[in-house]
Amino acid sequence: METALGYMFLAGAFALIVSMALMLARLIGGPTLYDRLLAVNSFGTKTVLFLCVFCFIIDRPDGVDIALLYALMNFIATIAVLKFFNYRALDVNLNRVSVKGEDA
């Protein structure tokens, strides 16, 4: 049971690494900026999955905390990079109501 389970999750981790490498190819050769951003986002999701599977393989539940932290960071980084390329600055309010003279 243990060996079959170990080989199964090792194969899963290997497939995730292959998928991450192919996503790096799209990141390097993407024609537009948004292709690269999509590749970075997908790479981050696969990194979270790989961390979870790897922490299960080495039997240390602490590492899932790192995966959770990486998931949070990946989302914030994607939104921040999108905001920067949209406004060319990061200190812009993203509120929906922007009536002139109304905002504090």
Of these, 17, 26, 95, 99, which contacts another protein (CB under 8 A)? 26
Nearer to another protein, 55 or 103 (CB): 55
Write b or e for each residue in 62-87: b if 16 or more Cβ atoms lie within 10 A of its Cβ, otherwise e.
Answer: eeeeebeebbeebeeeeeebeeeeee
- By CB under 8 A, tell whether 46 contacts another protein: yes
- By CB under 8 A, tell whether 54 contacts another protein: no
Of these, 10, 17, 28, 52, which contacts another protein (CB under 8 A)? 52
What distance in Å separates the CA atoms of residue 23 and residue 29, rounded to the nearest whole number?
10
- For residue 95 the two structure tokens come to 């509120």
* Tokens 């170990």 found at: 6
- By CB under 8 A, tell whether 80 contacts another protein: no
What distance in Å separates the CA atoms of residue 10 and residue 53, rounded to the nearest whole number?
8
- By CB under 8 A, tell whether 41 contacts another protein: yes
Helix boundaries (H) for the chain: 2-29, 33-57, 63-87
Q: Which residues bind another protein (CB under 8 A)?
A: 1-5, 8-9, 12, 15-16, 18-19, 22-23, 25-26, 31-32, 34-35, 37-39, 41-42, 45-46, 48-49, 52-53, 55-56, 61, 64-65, 67-68, 71-72, 74-75, 78-79, 82, 85-86
